[in-house]
Amino acid sequence: MAKRPTVRTTATATSPLEAHLGFWLRFVSNHVSQRFQQQLEAQGVTVTEWVALRTLLAHGEGSHASLIDALGMTKGAASKVISRLEEKGLAQRQRVDGNAREQLLVLTARGRALVPRLAKLADANDEHFFGHLPASEREALVAAMQALVQHHQLKQIPSQ
């Protein structure tokens, strides 16, 4: 672990990079995300696809608009993700009452079976990075992150 630098308080001093909480958040986040991304890719899925699959599982089905909102993507980018999931046999588009304009997105049986396996990878990744912390510290860390999300009204789910 890097030595904590002394923070200078004079007006002309420039604080070191390591004195910033944002630096440490990004440092840890990058490592947590990179390891999980590698595990997902070994299963043939991207992080964005994982978020889409998990979102569809949670909602049972969804419209393009709801998935676009959940992923925080443009319509075109979300459509590409949906197409990739269809090509992999993990999700499919279903017409609503035979209307080609109105479609629902649903997981296929293969997609429903894959999501719990990927969720176990996510759980194991969390355990790898945070399992050594006492439960009270993990809970405090989650609460602090949730408080920041709420305070800043952050809505876009990290999917990349």
User: What pLDDT is stored for residue 71 in this prediction?
Assistant: 77
Q: Are the beta carbons of 112 and 105 closer than 8 angstroms? A: no
Residue 58 has what pLDDT? 86
Position 70 scores a pLDDT of 75
pLDDT the model gives residue 23: 94
Give the pLDDT score at 117.
97
- What's residue 6's pLDDT? 64
CA distances from 37 to 34, 67, 95, 121, 157 (A): 5, 21, 32, 10, 16
Determine the pLDDT at residue 74.
84
> Residue 100: which H helix or E strand, with range?
strand 99-107
CA distance 122 to 128: 10
For the chain, 160 residues long, give each residue's pLDDT as a single digit of tens: 666 666 665 566 899 999 999 999 999 999 999 999 999 999 999 999 999 999 889 887 777 777 777 777 888 888 899 899 999 999 998 877 766 667 788 999 999 999 999 999 999 999 999 999 999 999 999 999 999 999 999 877 766 6
DSSP-derived secondary structure for 120-135: HHHHHHHHHHHTTS-H
Specify the CATH number of the domain 21-151. 1.10.10.10
Cα–Cα dist 121/30, whole Å: 17
State the pTM of this model. 0.80
Structure tokens at 114: 């894959």
CA-CA distance, 152 to 122, in Å (whole number)? 26
